[in-house]
Chain A
């Protein structure tokens, strides 16, 4: 089955800096890659996703890049703010009649004012 590795497990940045979280996946047939943000006391919320037919997607201060050859994808957050502090999860999924998301272990992002 699919295996998703996520790094780093913890990331501390100063407000205004950029943050990058990286994930690798094992199954070359995976073609859907969402990112989730989980704030304290809440469930994970989808913040951005990318499909394998594109290499980059951007939404305001967040962007995701995908390298299918290397089987890795990354989340980029620019101009970080304290409210970006949360745990971020990457995931990968096959496009098939039946498959489910495989999640990474998560990255705790701490943005200091």
Chain B
């Protein structure tokens, strides 16, 4: 375990479903991130939260909705997804957004949209 826990590990959902991904960290980090990892593509940054406030949204479609209720928890709410949204969704945390320290990643949620 890295200290960042993601649930569920696998998720299959239909295009009309609504589901949520959960991320939890108890490392005392102030920044949390959602990344999308697709085959043969670089890691795509989706959202950044610093002290529970969203600081970056990289032109992500509105069918992805993040929520950060406190500095230890991060959610990604999904609705009316498309098959091309199938990917590995990774959560990460770091001490602060601006500081030069590495990110700690969770093991990801493998999402399949059918």
CA distance A80 to B63 in the complex (A): 43
Question: What are the residues of chain B within 8 A of A31 when measuring CB–CB?
Answer: 100
Question: What are the residues of chain A within 8 A of B106 when measuring CB–CB?
Answer: 43
Interface range, B side: 20 to 34
* B90 beta carbon closer than 8 Å to chain A: yes
A residues at B contact (CB < 8 Å) = 31-32, 34, 36, 41-46, 49, 51, 89, 93, 95-101, 103-106
Given contacts A89-B43, A100-B48, contact A45 B100 (CB under 8 A): no
Question: What are the residues of chain A within 8 A of B107 when measuring CB–CB?
Answer: 41-43
Contact digits for B17-53, partner A, Cβ 8 Å, 1 yes 0 no:
0000000000000000100000011110100101000
Contact between chains at B45 and A93 (CB < 8 Å): no
Question: What are the residues of chain A within 8 A of B56 when measuring CB–CB?
Answer: 100
Contact between chains at B41 and A105 (CB < 8 Å): yes
One of B90, B98, B102 near A46 (C-beta < 8 A): B102
Contact between chains at B42 and A104 (CB < 8 Å): yes
CA distance A48 to B31 in the complex (A): 20
Contact between chains at B33 and A100 (CB < 8 Å): yes
Other than the given A36-B105, A89-B43, A100-B45, 5 more pairs (CB < 8 A) read A43-B4, A43-B92, A43-B107, A100-B33, A104-B42
Within the complex, the shortest CB–CB distance from B3 to chain A, in Å, comes to: 11
Ordered by A's residue number, 5 sampled pairs between the chains whose C-beta atoms are within 8 Å are A46-B103, A98-B97, A103-B43, A105-B40, A106-B42
